[in-house]
Structure 1
């Protein structure tokens, strides 16, 4: 007798996704007591607890978090096998993470082409910093992510897809900047900790012995550009984003050293790719080959 069945995984996954027994029971068209019994028996067969109570709700244990990643992969694979045997096309959901910059500039055309090729796939997009996206990947909240250099993706697959040119921005009228010591503003406007661009900028400043007095943690490129335009800070961002920003013409661009200005965005993912993800990988590879 198998310890794990697809039905066990489906019930477990539904409880997690719906946030509790009662909502999962509604989705699965079962009574709550049946769901509770199935989960308890599943835990007994596995020899570990998958949930613990917190207030009126349930939260995953560490074992539950590990199982959720396996459950997502196995159920996705089962769906793909069923579609393959019935000769259906690629379908399902692709959980994709992306940097704000890539989501704003790179993804619209890409996802439009993807939808034309795979109309039965629904792409669910989450944005965040490189650090946050890698954490989502490890926790199996997303299947793949577009992240920027530098990043640590041990035991992950990585495909370089876009090359970005980073520029330093200040308020209009700021004197030319040849080194960090030429900066006349002592505050940095950037995304919160975990942003690769922010990390690159701070390392460049630190190498020259320059330490900003304040770092403004902001949640969007529009807010960063607006703060810089107002003279409150300086910042760093891809020129492709600046060209599309609302106040992009109200800031001054400064060229950075090549080692800092050239930054490559990568698609990263763990383990085997689903058919939906493989479709995105193929599309990105084709686009990159055409651009070379």
Structure 2
């Protein structure tokens, strides 16, 4: 096993095609085919399932891809350390939509100015998607609702969010879920931690939400609430950042439910120089 084999394997896994991978690594397809077969023979397992001239990762291939990426990242980091160069390369971040919109724009701007050689990418989505992205190696780190108790992850708390129920502007005060039993709510998909928090608050108070309408953005949620179609839960910082927030009322959850911490998480043992530079700005 050598680094060239790992690079070839990783590229084929990401493209799903020997020909596409060959173009990316500037090799002939037959060379990639031979080297990957040698790698499989060395490991004693099939890394790919071959179907109709396409390659799909086998279960062993999925596991091996995680380690292959880590090895290649560590080699790149070692080269940078011994050369004395400033951090460079890729940093793929994931984030909750609210965190991306309100908390980190200034941090991202400062990071880009201070580390121009690092190629920073940002994707947003629910906590569940972000955690999967970090575990699968698609993301270097992600901002999620925490704490995250997973043996393969490390992290630190970076922000505290006050969670508020957003209701139509003339809605009566909301202190208990029983007061809005059966109300329709607007939320992200089921793997959104904020949605689970909202549903848990209802159930803890022996109440049940009405129909749950899945939305793709906080702006869509707010528009539905303003129209009188139901309720939503979101961080106060997110609500106050949006045009039209004055057309809705906001009621904080009870003390035991009111605050949630946002964590930055990464794979245990996979803190790169790029990520360390980013964490330095957060701290």
TM-score (norm 1): 0.92
SS at match of 2:212: strand
* Cα distance in 2 between the residues matched to 1:54 and 1:230: 51
* Cα distance in 1 between the residues matched to 2:204 and 2:181: 17
Query: Residue 67 of structure 2: which of 47, 62, 70 is its match?
Result: 70
* Cα distance in 2 between the residues matched to 1:158 and 1:83: 24
Provide the residue aligned with 2:166 in structure 1. 169
SS at match of 2:91: strand
Tell me how far 1:17 sits from its aligned partner.
Answer: 2.5
Post-superposition CA distance 1:224-260 (Å, at most 9, x none): 1111111112010011111112332221111211221
* Cα distance in 2 between the residues matched to 1:213 and 1:262: 24
Query: Residue 105 of structure 2: which of 104, 108, 131 is its match?
Result: 108
Asked if structure 2 preserves the Cα contact closer than 8 Å seen for 1:176 and 1:254, the reply is: yes
Structure 2 unmatched runs, 5+: none
Tell me how far 1:157 sits from its aligned partner.
Answer: 0.8
* Cα distance in 1 between the residues matched to 2:152 and 2:23: 38
Query: Residue 10 of structure 1: which of 7, 16, 41 is its match?
Result: 7
Provide the residue aligned with 2:219 in structure 1. 222
SS at match of 1:243: helix
1:20-59 pair list within 5 angstroms: 20-59=17-56
Tell me how far 1:120 sits from its aligned partner.
Answer: 0.7
1:120-159 pair list within 5 angstroms: 120-149=117-146, 151-159=148-156
Post-superposition CA distance 1:136-159 (Å, at most 9, x none): 122111121110136433331120
Asked if structure 1 preserves the Cα contact closer than 8 Å seen for 2:3 and 2:72, the reply is: yes
Tell me how far 1:73 sits from its aligned partner.
Answer: 1.3
Aligned length: 282
* Cα distance in 1 between the residues matched to 2:177 and 2:267: 38
2:247 is the counterpart of 1:250:
yes
